[in-house]
């Protein structure tokens, strides 16, 4: 599918969870639109593999990758300092890093809960806290968070995931109010069932069952979420803040 075209020439973008799925599609979109992008990856090897893939598309892309611990204040501050040293500023922050959990409550360990909360919500706090300091308040900036329809509808298992994503929605609304005076817009996207690594293990029967709850009768593509992120980051959304945009094919939660 073709990506929606926007112009982000001269903009500097930082994207967490940028080496795969929605994050990689978003990184690629911003580069195609003229932005300079630093994408973050939990593992150095996956970041380098993604970087190689991008430079094979265009060896002149202004792109870099880093792999800080997103809950470590010093590592996140150092990451932003490296971006500022290279490109002088940050204009757009995309908080996309996320992990899921498929465990039922009675089988869940505290470490399972903590891992999801750290990756999905605590990292956003750190990314926003130190990223805001890099944004030019006169020119303004944008923060886009990746939530989920699970944060709206809940889920029948994997408790920390929907809880964390509901927290992302609340964080988005609250930061939008707090940062409005600094000329920073804050919005979120809430993807539905997207054809990424998280659903890669579903067989054909499972895929059809999932699609049966989606009026559009198919899973979404990472590029479709990336397009929504691009819209919210663009001047076309200049009067939109504090909102969570559902990109879910009108998903209907299963009836119990």
183 dihedral zone (left: phi>0; alpha: psi -120 to 50; beta): left
Tally of CA atoms within 13 A in the half-sphere of 12 that contains its CB: 19
The answer to whether 30 and 15 are in contact (CB under 8 A) is yes
Q: Name beta bridge partners: 65.
A: 39
pTM over 0.85, yes/no: yes
What is the structure's pLDDT at 217?
A: 79
* Bridge-based pairing state of the strands 244-247 and 184-191: parallel
Element (H, E) at 13: strand 12-15
What is the structure's pLDDT at 171?
A: 98
In tens digits, the chain (256 residues) has pLDDT values of: 555 678 999 999 999 999 999 999 999 999 999 999 999 999 999 999 999 999 999 999 999 999 999 999 999 999 999 999 999 999 999 999 999 888 899 999 999 999 999 999 999 999 999 999 999 999 999 999 999 999 999 888 889 999 999 999 999 999 999 999 999 999 999 999 888 776 666 666 656 666 777 888 788 899 999 999 999 999 999 999 999 999 999 887 776 5
What is the structure's pLDDT at 250?
A: 83
What is the structure's pLDDT at 241?
A: 98
215-243 burial, b at 16+ Cβ within 10 Å, e below that, comes to eeeebbebbbbbbbbbbbbbeebeeebbb
Residues with catalytic annotation? 161
Q: Name beta bridge partners: 190.
A: 246
Q: Cβ neighbours of residue 12 under 8 Å, at least 6 residues apart?
A: 35, 36, 37, 38, 83, 87, 88, 89, 90, 91, 92
What is the structure's pLDDT at 209?
A: 65
């Amino acid at each position: 599918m073709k990506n929606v075209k926007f112009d982000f020439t001269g903009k500097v973008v930082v994207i967490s969870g940028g080496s795969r799925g929605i994050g990689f599609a978003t990184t690629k979109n911003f580069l195609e639109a003229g932005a300079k992008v630093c994408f973050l990856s939990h593992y150095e090897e996956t970041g380098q593999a993604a970087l190689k893939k991008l430079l094979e598309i265009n060896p002149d892309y202004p792109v870099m990758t880093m792999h800080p611990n997103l809950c470590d204040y010093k590592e996140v501050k150092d990451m932003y300092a490296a971006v500022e040293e290279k490109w002088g500023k940050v204009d757009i922050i995309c908080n996309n890093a996320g992990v899921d959990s498929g465990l039922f409550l009675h089988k869940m360990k505290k470490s399972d809960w903590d891992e999801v909360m750290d990756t999905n919500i605590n990292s956003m706090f750190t990314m926003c806290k130190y990223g805001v300091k890099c944004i030019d308040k006169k020119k303004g900036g944008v923060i886009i968070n990746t939530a989920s329809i699970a944060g709206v509808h809940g889920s029948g298992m994997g408790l920390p995931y929907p809880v964390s994503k509901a927290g992302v929605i609340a964080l988005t609304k609250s930061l939008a109010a707090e940062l409005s005076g600094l000329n920073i817009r804050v919005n979120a996207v809430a993807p539905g069932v997207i054809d990424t690594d998280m659903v890669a293990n579903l067989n054909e029967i499972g895929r059809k069952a999932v699609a049966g709850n989606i009026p559009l009768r198919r899973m979404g593509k990472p590029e479709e979420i990336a397009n929504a992120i691009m819209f919210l980051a663009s001047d076309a959304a200049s009067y939109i803040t504090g909102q969570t945009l559902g990109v879910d094919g009108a998903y209907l939660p299963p009836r119990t």
